[in-house]
Structure 1
Amino acid sequence: METLSLNIFLQAADDIELSRYKVMAAIKNSSETLHKNMLYPDLAELIKLYSILNDIVTRRTLLHDSLPSKLVGFDLENKKAIYEKEELSESKTKLVFDFINWAMPKIKEIIDEGKAIERWHEERRASVFDEGKFASSMSSKAPDVLYVQVDGTGINDRGSKEWMECKVGASYSQRVRVSKNRIKLLDKKSYAAIEDVDSFGQKFFLDCVSQGVLSAKKVIFVADGDRWIRRIKNDYFPEAMGVLDPWHLQRLLKVTLGEEKYDLVELCMSAAFTGDGVKIINLLLGELRDIDEPEKNEKIASVIKIG
Protein backbone atom coordinates (compact mmCIF):
# COMPACT_ATOMS: atom_id res chain seq x y z
CA MET A 1 0.00 0.00 0.00
CA GLU A 2 1.51 3.33 -1.08
CA THR A 3 2.02 5.92 1.65
CA LEU A 4 3.12 9.54 1.43
CA SER A 5 6.69 10.29 2.48
CA LEU A 6 9.16 13.14 2.06
CA ASN A 7 11.39 10.95 -0.13
CA ILE A 8 8.74 10.84 -2.86
CA PHE A 9 9.08 14.62 -3.21
CA LEU A 10 12.86 14.79 -2.85
CA GLN A 11 13.30 12.18 -5.59
CA ALA A 12 10.57 13.57 -7.85
CA ALA A 13 13.03 15.03 -10.37
CA ASP A 14 14.34 11.54 -11.21
CA ASP A 15 10.93 10.38 -12.51
CA ILE A 16 8.17 12.95 -12.27
CA GLU A 17 5.44 10.68 -13.67
CA LEU A 18 6.23 7.86 -11.25
CA SER A 19 6.23 10.36 -8.38
CA ARG A 20 2.81 11.69 -9.45
CA TYR A 21 1.50 8.13 -9.55
CA LYS A 22 2.85 7.43 -6.04
CA VAL A 23 1.24 10.58 -4.62
CA MET A 24 -2.13 9.89 -6.25
CA ALA A 25 -2.06 6.24 -5.10
CA ALA A 26 -1.21 7.29 -1.53
CA ILE A 27 -3.96 9.93 -1.50
CA LYS A 28 -6.45 7.38 -2.83
CA ASN A 29 -5.48 4.93 -0.06
CA SER A 30 -5.79 7.66 2.58
CA SER A 31 -9.22 8.69 1.30
CA GLU A 32 -10.47 5.10 1.23
CA THR A 33 -9.22 4.54 4.78
CA LEU A 34 -11.05 7.66 5.97
CA HIS A 35 -14.36 6.76 4.37
CA LYS A 36 -14.22 3.07 5.23
CA ASN A 37 -13.18 3.34 8.88
CA MET A 38 -14.16 6.93 9.75
CA LEU A 39 -10.65 7.05 11.22
CA TYR A 40 -7.22 7.92 9.84
CA PRO A 41 -4.47 6.79 12.24
CA ASP A 42 -1.68 8.48 10.21
CA LEU A 43 -3.28 11.95 10.20
CA ALA A 44 -0.62 13.41 12.53
CA GLU A 45 2.16 12.17 10.22
CA LEU A 46 0.39 13.63 7.19
CA ILE A 47 0.05 17.01 8.92
CA LYS A 48 3.77 16.88 9.78
CA LEU A 49 4.67 16.11 6.14
CA TYR A 50 2.48 18.97 4.89
CA SER A 51 4.20 21.35 7.32
CA ILE A 52 7.66 20.27 6.09
CA LEU A 53 6.64 20.73 2.44
CA ASN A 54 5.21 24.15 3.25
CA ASP A 55 8.49 25.13 4.95
CA ILE A 56 10.48 23.95 1.91
CA VAL A 57 8.34 26.06 -0.43
CA THR A 58 8.50 29.08 1.88
CA ARG A 59 12.23 28.80 2.65
CA ARG A 60 13.68 27.40 -0.54
CA THR A 61 17.12 26.72 0.96
CA LEU A 62 15.52 23.97 3.06
CA LEU A 63 15.26 21.81 -0.06
CA HIS A 64 19.03 21.44 -0.19
CA ASP A 65 19.17 20.67 3.54
CA SER A 66 16.46 18.01 3.16
CA LEU A 67 18.12 16.18 0.27
CA PRO A 68 19.65 12.82 1.20
CA SER A 69 23.41 12.37 1.32
CA LYS A 70 25.08 9.96 -1.06
CA LEU A 71 28.20 7.85 -0.63
CA VAL A 72 31.09 9.29 -2.67
CA GLY A 73 34.08 7.40 -1.28
CA PHE A 74 36.01 6.07 1.70
CA ASP A 75 38.65 7.62 3.94
CA LEU A 76 40.91 4.58 4.31
CA GLU A 77 43.25 6.28 6.75
CA ASN A 78 40.47 7.14 9.19
CA LYS A 79 38.36 4.12 8.22
CA LYS A 80 35.13 5.99 7.49
CA ALA A 81 32.76 6.53 4.61
CA ILE A 82 32.50 9.93 2.92
CA TYR A 83 29.05 11.34 2.14
CA GLU A 84 28.04 14.46 0.29
CA LYS A 85 24.70 16.20 -0.08
CA GLU A 86 23.08 15.62 -3.43
CA GLU A 87 22.94 18.68 -5.65
CA LEU A 88 20.02 19.44 -7.96
CA SER A 89 20.36 21.39 -11.17
CA GLU A 90 18.25 24.50 -11.61
CA SER A 91 15.84 22.65 -13.92
CA LYS A 92 15.47 19.71 -11.49
CA THR A 93 14.99 22.10 -8.57
CA LYS A 94 12.14 23.77 -10.46
CA LEU A 95 10.59 20.36 -11.15
CA VAL A 96 10.64 19.50 -7.44
CA PHE A 97 9.07 22.81 -6.40
CA ASP A 98 6.40 22.55 -9.11
CA PHE A 99 5.67 19.01 -7.98
CA ILE A 100 5.36 20.04 -4.32
CA ASN A 101 3.04 22.92 -5.24
CA TRP A 102 0.92 20.52 -7.30
CA ALA A 103 0.64 17.96 -4.48
CA MET A 104 0.08 20.22 -1.47
CA PRO A 105 -3.58 21.16 -2.19
CA LYS A 106 -4.41 17.46 -2.66
CA ILE A 107 -2.74 16.56 0.64
CA LYS A 108 -4.56 19.42 2.39
CA GLU A 109 -7.92 18.02 1.20
CA ILE A 110 -7.18 14.73 2.97
CA ILE A 111 -5.99 16.56 6.09
CA ASP A 112 -9.17 18.68 6.16
CA GLU A 113 -11.29 15.53 5.77
CA GLY A 114 -9.37 13.82 8.55
CA LYS A 115 -9.76 16.81 10.86
CA ALA A 116 -13.50 16.94 10.15
CA ILE A 117 -13.83 13.27 11.09
CA GLU A 118 -11.75 13.87 14.23
CA ARG A 119 -14.14 16.69 15.20
CA TRP A 120 -17.07 14.32 14.62
CA HIS A 121 -15.46 11.76 16.93
CA GLU A 122 -14.78 14.41 19.57
CA GLU A 123 -18.40 15.59 19.45
CA ARG A 124 -19.55 11.97 19.73
CA ARG A 125 -17.24 11.37 22.69
CA ALA A 126 -18.32 14.63 24.29
CA SER A 127 -21.95 13.55 24.10
CA VAL A 128 -20.98 10.63 26.33
CA PHE A 129 -17.90 11.75 28.23
CA ASP A 130 -18.64 15.45 28.72
CA GLU A 131 -17.96 16.11 32.42
CA GLY A 132 -21.43 17.34 33.34
CA LYS A 133 -23.44 15.07 31.09
CA PHE A 134 -21.29 12.03 31.82
CA ALA A 135 -21.64 12.46 35.58
CA SER A 136 -25.39 12.80 35.20
CA SER A 137 -25.70 9.73 33.00
CA MET A 138 -23.51 7.73 35.39
CA SER A 139 -25.69 8.58 38.38
CA SER A 140 -29.03 8.16 36.63
CA LYS A 141 -28.24 4.97 34.68
CA ALA A 142 -26.58 2.28 36.76
CA PRO A 143 -28.39 -0.94 35.80
CA ASP A 144 -28.16 -4.10 37.85
CA VAL A 145 -27.47 -6.05 34.66
CA LEU A 146 -26.50 -4.71 31.23
CA TYR A 147 -26.77 -7.15 28.33
CA VAL A 148 -24.35 -6.64 25.44
CA GLN A 149 -24.76 -8.59 22.20
CA VAL A 150 -22.38 -8.66 19.21
CA ASP A 151 -22.65 -10.55 15.93
CA GLY A 152 -21.83 -10.28 12.24
CA THR A 153 -23.96 -10.72 9.14
CA GLY A 154 -23.11 -10.94 5.44
CA ILE A 155 -24.23 -8.21 3.05
CA ASN A 156 -24.01 -8.48 -0.73
CA ASP A 157 -23.12 -5.39 -2.78
CA ARG A 158 -25.46 -5.40 -5.77
CA GLY A 159 -23.00 -3.53 -7.96
CA SER A 160 -19.79 -5.43 -7.34
CA LYS A 161 -21.43 -8.66 -6.11
CA GLU A 162 -18.90 -8.54 -3.27
CA TRP A 163 -19.84 -10.02 0.10
CA MET A 164 -19.04 -7.83 3.09
CA GLU A 165 -19.46 -8.44 6.80
CA CYS A 166 -21.61 -5.98 8.71
CA LYS A 167 -20.74 -5.91 12.41
CA VAL A 168 -23.72 -5.40 14.73
CA GLY A 169 -23.87 -4.58 18.42
CA ALA A 170 -26.78 -4.02 20.80
CA SER A 171 -27.07 -3.24 24.49
CA TYR A 172 -30.05 -3.19 26.86
CA SER A 173 -30.86 -3.47 30.54
CA GLN A 174 -34.65 -3.48 30.71
CA ARG A 175 -36.85 -6.24 29.30
CA VAL A 176 -40.33 -7.58 29.91
CA ARG A 177 -41.91 -10.89 28.90
CA VAL A 178 -44.92 -10.23 26.68
CA SER A 179 -45.71 -13.87 25.84
CA LYS A 180 -44.39 -17.37 26.49
CA ASN A 181 -41.64 -17.12 23.87
CA ARG A 182 -41.37 -13.36 23.38
CA ILE A 183 -39.48 -10.74 25.36
CA LYS A 184 -39.63 -7.01 24.66
CA LEU A 185 -36.50 -4.89 25.16
CA LEU A 186 -37.41 -1.49 26.59
CA ASP A 187 -34.13 0.43 26.21
CA LYS A 188 -32.25 -1.30 23.40
CA LYS A 189 -29.54 0.71 21.65
CA SER A 190 -27.90 -0.64 18.49
CA TYR A 191 -24.88 0.15 16.35
CA ALA A 192 -24.02 -1.47 12.99
CA ALA A 193 -21.31 -0.75 10.43
CA ILE A 194 -19.10 -2.27 7.76
CA GLU A 195 -15.69 -1.43 9.23
CA ASP A 196 -12.64 -2.96 10.87
CA VAL A 197 -12.77 -4.49 14.35
CA ASP A 198 -11.01 -1.62 16.15
CA SER A 199 -13.24 1.08 14.67
CA PHE A 200 -16.38 -0.91 15.43
CA GLY A 201 -15.22 -1.69 18.97
CA GLN A 202 -14.49 1.95 19.81
CA LYS A 203 -17.80 3.29 18.51
CA PHE A 204 -19.93 0.48 19.93
CA PHE A 205 -18.29 0.84 23.35
CA LEU A 206 -19.29 4.53 23.39
CA ASP A 207 -22.91 3.46 22.89
CA CYS A 208 -22.56 1.01 25.78
CA VAL A 209 -21.10 3.72 28.05
CA SER A 210 -24.27 5.76 27.53
CA GLN A 211 -26.20 2.61 28.53
CA GLY A 212 -24.34 2.38 31.84
CA VAL A 213 -21.70 -0.27 31.11
CA LEU A 214 -19.17 1.41 33.44
CA SER A 215 -21.56 1.51 36.39
CA ALA A 216 -23.59 -1.69 35.87
CA LYS A 217 -23.36 -4.25 38.67
CA LYS A 218 -23.04 -7.03 36.10
CA VAL A 219 -22.39 -7.05 32.35
CA ILE A 220 -23.37 -10.10 30.31
CA PHE A 221 -21.71 -10.35 26.90
CA VAL A 222 -23.81 -12.53 24.57
CA ALA A 223 -22.23 -13.73 21.32
CA ASP A 224 -20.89 -16.67 19.38
CA GLY A 225 -17.25 -17.72 19.58
CA ASP A 226 -15.98 -15.87 16.50
CA ARG A 227 -12.40 -14.65 16.91
CA TRP A 228 -13.07 -10.95 16.18
CA ILE A 229 -15.96 -10.96 18.68
CA ARG A 230 -13.73 -12.50 21.37
CA ARG A 231 -11.31 -9.67 20.66
CA ILE A 232 -14.07 -7.08 21.20
CA LYS A 233 -14.95 -8.70 24.51
CA ASN A 234 -11.35 -8.91 25.70
CA ASP A 235 -10.50 -5.34 24.67
CA TYR A 236 -13.63 -3.49 25.77
CA PHE A 237 -15.59 -5.77 28.12
CA PRO A 238 -12.90 -7.79 29.95
CA GLU A 239 -14.93 -8.12 33.18
CA ALA A 240 -18.16 -9.14 31.45
CA MET A 241 -19.60 -12.64 31.75
CA GLY A 242 -19.43 -14.36 28.35
CA VAL A 243 -22.53 -16.26 27.28
CA LEU A 244 -23.16 -18.19 24.05
CA ASP A 245 -26.14 -16.63 22.29
CA PRO A 246 -29.38 -18.71 22.14
CA TRP A 247 -29.34 -19.30 18.38
CA HIS A 248 -25.80 -20.68 18.39
CA LEU A 249 -26.47 -22.59 21.61
CA GLN A 250 -29.51 -24.27 20.07
CA ARG A 251 -27.59 -25.16 16.91
CA LEU A 252 -24.71 -26.55 19.00
CA LEU A 253 -27.08 -28.64 21.12
CA LYS A 254 -28.84 -30.07 18.05
CA VAL A 255 -25.54 -31.01 16.41
CA THR A 256 -24.15 -32.48 19.64
CA LEU A 257 -27.21 -34.34 20.92
CA GLY A 258 -28.82 -35.27 17.61
CA GLU A 259 -32.33 -34.73 16.28
CA GLU A 260 -33.66 -37.62 18.38
CA LYS A 261 -32.99 -35.56 21.53
CA TYR A 262 -35.42 -32.79 20.53
CA ASP A 263 -37.10 -32.74 23.96
CA LEU A 264 -33.77 -32.37 25.76
CA VAL A 265 -32.75 -29.52 23.46
CA GLU A 266 -36.05 -27.76 24.23
CA LEU A 267 -35.53 -28.20 27.98
CA CYS A 268 -32.03 -26.72 27.68
CA MET A 269 -33.31 -23.78 25.62
CA SER A 270 -36.10 -23.07 28.12
CA ALA A 271 -33.46 -22.94 30.84
CA ALA A 272 -31.30 -20.67 28.66
CA PHE A 273 -34.12 -18.17 28.14
CA THR A 274 -34.59 -17.91 31.91
CA GLY A 275 -30.84 -17.59 32.51
CA ASP A 276 -30.58 -20.92 34.34
CA GLY A 277 -27.15 -22.10 33.22
CA VAL A 278 -26.86 -24.56 36.12
CA LYS A 279 -29.96 -26.41 34.91
CA ILE A 280 -28.49 -26.74 31.40
CA ILE A 281 -25.29 -28.23 32.79
CA ASN A 282 -27.21 -30.66 35.02
CA LEU A 283 -29.35 -31.78 32.05
CA LEU A 284 -26.23 -32.42 29.98
CA LEU A 285 -24.49 -34.22 32.86
CA GLY A 286 -27.53 -36.49 33.10
CA GLU A 287 -27.20 -37.20 29.38
CA LEU A 288 -23.53 -38.09 29.88
CA ARG A 289 -24.46 -40.71 32.47
CA ASP A 290 -27.03 -42.28 30.15
CA ILE A 291 -24.84 -42.59 27.04
CA ASP A 292 -22.07 -45.11 26.48
CA GLU A 293 -20.62 -43.54 23.31
CA PRO A 294 -17.14 -42.04 23.94
CA GLU A 295 -17.20 -39.74 20.88
CA LYS A 296 -20.64 -38.33 21.70
CA ASN A 297 -19.76 -38.01 25.38
CA GLU A 298 -16.70 -35.98 24.43
CA LYS A 299 -18.86 -33.58 22.39
CA ILE A 300 -21.33 -33.16 25.26
CA ALA A 301 -18.46 -32.56 27.68
CA SER A 302 -17.15 -29.79 25.41
CA VAL A 303 -20.57 -28.09 25.50
CA ILE A 304 -20.57 -28.28 29.31
CA LYS A 305 -17.15 -26.55 29.33
CA ILE A 306 -18.59 -23.72 27.21
CA GLY A 307 -21.41 -23.37 29.74
Structure 2
Amino acid sequence: MQQNGAIVAGYDGSAEALAAVRWAAHHANLRDCALHVVHCSLWPLLTRKLGPVPGIADSGLERSAQAILAEGVAAAKAAMPGLEVEGTLLHGLPASYLARISDGQAMVAVGSRGLGGFLGLLVGSVSLELAATATCPVAVIRPDMNPAGPVIVAVDGSGSPTALEDACVMASVSQAALSVIHVQHTPAGYLQKDPTGAPTAQSGAEEVLAAAVIRARALAPGIPVDGAVLVGRSIPHAILTASMHARILVVGTKGHGFLRETIGSTAHAVLHHARGPVLISRRGTEQ
Protein backbone atom coordinates (compact mmCIF):
# COMPACT_ATOMS: atom_id res chain seq x y z
CA MET A 1 0.00 0.00 0.00
CA GLN A 2 1.16 3.51 -0.72
CA GLN A 3 2.80 5.21 2.23
CA ASN A 4 2.71 8.70 0.77
CA GLY A 5 -0.40 10.86 0.60
CA ALA A 6 -3.23 11.32 3.06
CA ILE A 7 -6.12 9.15 4.08
CA VAL A 8 -9.36 10.56 2.69
CA ALA A 9 -12.61 10.01 4.58
CA GLY A 10 -16.05 10.73 3.16
CA TYR A 11 -18.53 12.15 5.65
CA ASP A 12 -22.25 12.90 5.33
CA GLY A 13 -23.39 13.03 8.95
CA SER A 14 -24.61 9.42 9.09
CA ALA A 15 -23.61 6.97 11.80
CA GLU A 16 -21.83 4.84 9.20
CA ALA A 17 -19.80 7.80 7.99
CA LEU A 18 -18.93 8.76 11.55
CA ALA A 19 -17.51 5.27 12.12
CA ALA A 20 -15.49 5.63 8.91
CA VAL A 21 -14.06 9.00 9.98
CA ARG A 22 -13.02 7.66 13.38
CA TRP A 23 -11.48 4.57 11.79
CA ALA A 24 -9.65 6.72 9.24
CA ALA A 25 -8.33 9.02 12.00
CA HIS A 26 -6.96 6.05 13.89
CA HIS A 27 -5.19 4.69 10.81
CA ALA A 28 -3.86 8.08 9.76
CA ASN A 29 -2.25 8.28 13.18
CA LEU A 30 -0.77 4.79 12.80
CA ARG A 31 0.66 5.70 9.38
CA ASP A 32 1.81 9.16 10.51
CA CYS A 33 -0.07 10.86 7.68
CA ALA A 34 -2.72 13.56 7.39
CA LEU A 35 -6.47 12.97 7.27
CA HIS A 36 -8.64 14.72 4.68
CA VAL A 37 -12.36 14.79 5.53
CA VAL A 38 -14.63 15.47 2.56
CA HIS A 39 -18.34 16.25 2.47
CA CYS A 40 -20.14 16.34 -0.88
CA SER A 41 -23.39 18.29 -0.93
CA LEU A 42 -25.96 17.09 -3.43
CA TRP A 43 -28.31 20.02 -2.93
CA PRO A 44 -26.91 22.15 -5.80
CA LEU A 45 -27.92 19.31 -8.12
CA LEU A 46 -31.50 19.53 -6.90
CA THR A 47 -32.16 23.20 -6.22
CA ARG A 48 -30.69 26.68 -6.57
CA LYS A 49 -32.23 27.80 -3.30
CA LEU A 50 -29.32 27.14 -0.98
CA GLY A 51 -30.17 29.95 1.45
CA PRO A 52 -29.81 31.52 3.82
CA VAL A 53 -33.44 31.98 4.73
CA PRO A 54 -34.11 35.72 5.16
CA GLY A 55 -34.21 36.70 8.81
CA ILE A 56 -32.93 33.34 10.11
CA ALA A 57 -29.30 33.18 11.16
CA ASP A 58 -27.16 30.22 10.13
CA SER A 59 -29.90 28.83 7.90
CA GLY A 60 -30.03 27.37 4.43
CA LEU A 61 -28.81 24.24 2.70
CA GLU A 62 -25.29 25.53 2.09
CA ARG A 63 -24.87 26.41 5.75
CA SER A 64 -26.13 22.94 6.65
CA ALA A 65 -23.50 21.37 4.37
CA GLN A 66 -20.79 23.46 6.01
CA ALA A 67 -21.99 22.33 9.43
CA ILE A 68 -21.86 18.68 8.40
CA LEU A 69 -18.27 19.07 7.22
CA ALA A 70 -17.30 20.85 10.44
CA GLU A 71 -18.89 18.01 12.41
CA GLY A 72 -16.82 15.44 10.52
CA VAL A 73 -13.58 17.34 11.05
CA ALA A 74 -14.37 17.75 14.76
CA ALA A 75 -15.11 14.02 15.10
CA ALA A 76 -11.74 13.17 13.54
CA LYS A 77 -9.87 15.53 15.85
CA ALA A 78 -11.72 14.21 18.89
CA ALA A 79 -10.93 10.62 17.91
CA MET A 80 -7.22 11.37 17.50
CA PRO A 81 -6.10 14.62 19.17
CA GLY A 82 -3.07 16.19 17.51
CA LEU A 83 -3.77 14.60 14.13
CA GLU A 84 -3.47 16.88 11.09
CA VAL A 85 -7.02 17.10 9.70
CA GLU A 86 -8.15 19.02 6.62
CA GLY A 87 -11.77 19.52 5.59
CA THR A 88 -13.20 20.16 2.13
CA LEU A 89 -16.77 20.90 1.05
CA LEU A 90 -17.62 19.90 -2.51
CA HIS A 91 -20.82 20.08 -4.52
CA GLY A 92 -21.80 17.11 -6.62
CA LEU A 93 -21.87 13.32 -6.69
CA PRO A 94 -19.75 11.89 -3.86
CA ALA A 95 -18.30 8.87 -5.67
CA SER A 96 -17.09 10.96 -8.61
CA TYR A 97 -15.36 13.54 -6.44
CA LEU A 98 -13.85 11.02 -4.05
CA ALA A 99 -12.52 8.99 -6.95
CA ARG A 100 -10.73 12.08 -8.29
CA ILE A 101 -9.40 13.01 -4.87
CA SER A 102 -8.11 9.47 -4.36
CA ASP A 103 -5.35 9.91 -6.92
CA GLY A 104 -2.00 9.73 -5.14
CA GLN A 105 -3.54 9.21 -1.70
CA ALA A 106 -2.83 6.39 0.73
CA MET A 107 -6.45 5.29 1.10
CA VAL A 108 -10.08 6.37 0.93
CA ALA A 109 -12.41 5.37 3.77
CA VAL A 110 -16.20 5.48 3.56
CA GLY A 111 -19.12 4.10 5.51
CA SER A 112 -21.07 1.14 4.21
CA ARG A 113 -24.01 3.47 3.52
CA GLY A 114 -24.57 7.16 3.20
CA LEU A 115 -22.52 9.87 1.45
CA GLY A 116 -25.56 10.82 -0.51
CA GLY A 117 -28.72 10.80 1.58
CA PHE A 118 -31.58 9.08 -0.18
CA LEU A 119 -29.66 9.07 -3.47
CA GLY A 120 -26.89 7.09 -1.77
CA LEU A 121 -29.34 4.30 -1.02
CA LEU A 122 -29.92 3.52 -4.68
CA VAL A 123 -28.49 0.38 -6.22
CA GLY A 124 -24.92 1.17 -7.18
CA SER A 125 -24.06 2.79 -3.84
CA VAL A 126 -21.23 5.22 -3.30
CA SER A 127 -19.03 2.62 -1.63
CA LEU A 128 -19.52 0.16 -4.50
CA GLU A 129 -18.92 2.76 -7.19
CA LEU A 130 -15.88 4.14 -5.41
CA ALA A 131 -14.42 0.65 -5.02
CA ALA A 132 -14.58 0.35 -8.79
CA THR A 133 -13.23 3.79 -9.73
CA ALA A 134 -10.79 5.01 -7.06
CA THR A 135 -7.07 5.00 -7.82
CA CYS A 136 -6.00 3.94 -4.32
CA PRO A 137 -7.21 1.32 -1.81
CA VAL A 138 -10.78 1.81 -0.58
CA ALA A 139 -11.78 0.91 2.98
CA VAL A 140 -15.51 0.32 3.48
CA ILE A 141 -16.26 0.47 7.20
CA ARG A 142 -19.12 -1.47 8.76
CA PRO A 143 -20.48 -1.51 12.31
CA ASP A 144 -19.12 -4.93 13.33
CA MET A 145 -15.63 -4.16 14.59
CA ASN A 146 -13.12 -6.75 15.82
CA PRO A 147 -10.14 -4.61 16.85
CA ALA A 148 -8.33 -7.62 18.32
CA GLY A 149 -8.86 -9.79 15.25
CA PRO A 150 -6.35 -10.59 12.51
CA VAL A 151 -6.00 -8.94 9.14
CA ILE A 152 -7.25 -11.46 6.58
CA VAL A 153 -6.33 -11.31 2.91
CA ALA A 154 -7.88 -13.46 0.19
CA VAL A 155 -5.58 -14.33 -2.70
CA ASP A 156 -6.54 -15.84 -6.03
CA GLY A 157 -4.49 -18.03 -8.36
CA SER A 158 -2.21 -15.12 -9.22
CA GLY A 159 -1.29 -14.65 -5.57
CA SER A 160 -3.02 -11.24 -5.61
CA PRO A 161 0.25 -9.35 -5.07
CA THR A 162 -1.34 -5.92 -4.63
CA ALA A 163 -3.88 -7.12 -2.08
CA LEU A 164 -1.17 -9.05 -0.27
CA GLU A 165 1.01 -5.95 -0.10
CA ASP A 166 -1.85 -3.85 1.26
CA ALA A 167 -2.68 -6.49 3.86
CA CYS A 168 0.94 -6.65 4.99
CA VAL A 169 1.05 -2.89 5.49
CA MET A 170 -2.26 -2.98 7.35
CA ALA A 171 -1.00 -5.75 9.65
CA SER A 172 2.37 -4.07 10.18
CA VAL A 173 1.04 -0.66 11.18
CA SER A 174 -1.61 -2.26 13.41
CA GLN A 175 0.78 -4.88 14.83
CA ALA A 176 -1.88 -7.46 14.05
CA ALA A 177 -1.60 -11.08 12.99
CA LEU A 178 -2.05 -11.75 9.27
CA SER A 179 -3.97 -14.68 7.81
CA VAL A 180 -3.68 -15.49 4.11
CA ILE A 181 -6.51 -17.52 2.61
CA HIS A 182 -6.96 -19.07 -0.82
CA VAL A 183 -10.22 -20.68 -1.88
CA GLN A 184 -10.22 -23.79 -4.00
CA HIS A 185 -13.47 -23.68 -5.93
CA THR A 186 -15.17 -27.08 -5.99
CA PRO A 187 -18.28 -27.21 -8.20
CA ALA A 188 -20.81 -29.98 -7.66
CA GLY A 189 -19.40 -33.32 -8.85
CA TYR A 190 -15.79 -32.13 -8.58
CA LEU A 191 -13.26 -34.94 -7.98
CA GLN A 192 -10.80 -34.19 -5.19
CA LYS A 193 -8.23 -36.82 -6.22
CA ASP A 194 -6.84 -37.85 -9.56
CA PRO A 195 -6.44 -41.69 -9.62
CA THR A 196 -3.60 -41.36 -12.15
CA GLY A 197 -1.47 -39.47 -9.66
CA ALA A 198 -1.43 -36.30 -11.76
CA PRO A 199 -1.20 -32.93 -9.97
CA THR A 200 -4.57 -31.98 -8.50
CA ALA A 201 -6.25 -28.64 -7.97
CA GLN A 202 -5.61 -29.12 -4.26
CA SER A 203 -1.85 -29.30 -4.75
CA GLY A 204 -2.00 -26.25 -7.00
CA ALA A 205 -3.96 -24.34 -4.37
CA GLU A 206 -1.42 -25.27 -1.72
CA GLU A 207 1.41 -23.98 -3.94
CA VAL A 208 -0.41 -20.65 -4.42
CA LEU A 209 -0.92 -20.33 -0.68
CA ALA A 210 2.63 -21.30 0.23
CA ALA A 211 4.08 -18.71 -2.15
CA ALA A 212 1.77 -16.01 -0.78
CA VAL A 213 2.68 -16.81 2.84
CA ILE A 214 6.41 -16.68 2.05
CA ARG A 215 5.99 -13.30 0.38
CA ALA A 216 3.85 -11.98 3.24
CA ARG A 217 6.50 -12.94 5.80
CA ALA A 218 9.10 -11.08 3.75
CA LEU A 219 6.88 -7.98 3.45
CA ALA A 220 5.83 -7.96 7.11
CA PRO A 221 8.78 -9.15 9.18
CA GLY A 222 7.96 -9.65 12.83
CA ILE A 223 4.23 -10.10 12.14
CA PRO A 224 2.69 -13.56 12.75
CA VAL A 225 1.56 -14.92 9.38
CA ASP A 226 -0.44 -18.08 8.77
CA GLY A 227 -2.34 -19.44 5.82
CA ALA A 228 -5.16 -21.78 4.88
CA VAL A 229 -6.60 -23.33 1.75
CA LEU A 230 -10.38 -23.23 1.92
CA VAL A 231 -12.64 -25.48 -0.13
CA GLY A 232 -16.10 -24.43 -1.22
CA ARG A 233 -18.64 -24.19 -4.01
CA SER A 234 -18.92 -20.43 -3.46
CA ILE A 235 -15.69 -18.44 -3.26
CA PRO A 236 -17.32 -15.35 -1.67
CA HIS A 237 -19.14 -17.47 0.91
CA ALA A 238 -15.92 -19.22 1.91
CA ILE A 239 -14.11 -15.88 2.25
CA LEU A 240 -16.91 -14.29 4.26
CA THR A 241 -17.16 -17.27 6.61
CA ALA A 242 -13.41 -17.25 7.25
CA SER A 243 -13.35 -13.50 7.90
CA MET A 244 -16.22 -13.21 10.37
CA HIS A 245 -13.87 -12.22 13.20
CA ALA A 246 -11.31 -10.32 11.13
CA ARG A 247 -10.05 -6.86 12.03
CA ILE A 248 -10.33 -6.14 8.31
CA LEU A 249 -10.72 -8.27 5.18
CA VAL A 250 -8.52 -7.36 2.21
CA VAL A 251 -9.51 -8.41 -1.31
CA GLY A 252 -8.24 -7.48 -4.74
CA THR A 253 -10.20 -6.35 -7.76
CA LYS A 254 -10.35 -8.39 -10.91
CA GLY A 255 -13.31 -7.16 -12.91
CA HIS A 256 -14.05 -8.81 -16.23
CA GLY A 257 -16.81 -8.32 -18.74
CA PHE A 258 -18.35 -5.51 -20.73
CA LEU A 259 -18.15 -2.82 -18.08
CA ARG A 260 -14.74 -1.27 -17.61
CA GLU A 261 -15.37 0.01 -14.11
CA THR A 262 -16.16 -3.21 -12.28
CA ILE A 263 -14.54 -4.85 -9.30
CA GLY A 264 -15.17 -8.50 -10.04
CA SER A 265 -17.91 -10.78 -8.77
CA THR A 266 -16.04 -11.93 -5.66
CA ALA A 267 -15.19 -8.43 -4.41
CA HIS A 268 -18.73 -7.30 -5.28
CA ALA A 269 -20.30 -10.09 -3.21
CA VAL A 270 -17.91 -9.50 -0.31
CA LEU A 271 -18.76 -5.79 -0.22
CA HIS A 272 -22.47 -6.54 -0.13
CA HIS A 273 -22.38 -9.18 2.58
CA ALA A 274 -19.36 -8.56 4.84
CA ARG A 275 -20.21 -7.57 8.41
CA GLY A 276 -16.88 -5.97 9.21
CA PRO A 277 -14.48 -3.57 7.45
CA VAL A 278 -13.33 -4.46 3.95
CA LEU A 279 -10.34 -3.07 2.09
CA ILE A 280 -10.63 -3.16 -1.69
CA SER A 281 -7.09 -3.13 -3.01
CA ARG A 282 -6.64 -0.83 -5.99
CA ARG A 283 -3.84 0.84 -7.90
CA GLY A 284 -4.30 3.35 -10.69
CA THR A 285 -6.77 2.06 -13.28
CA GLU A 286 -6.25 -1.66 -12.64
CA GLN A 287 -9.29 -3.87 -12.46
The answer to whether TM tops 0.5 is no
Choose 1 or 2 for highest CA Rg.
1
In the superposition, the TM-score normalised over structure 1's length comes to 0.22
- Of structures 1 and 2, the one with the larger relative CO (CA 8 A, separation 6+) is 2
In the superposition, the TM-score normalised over structure 2's length comes to 0.24
Name whichever structure is richer in helix by fraction.
Answer: 1
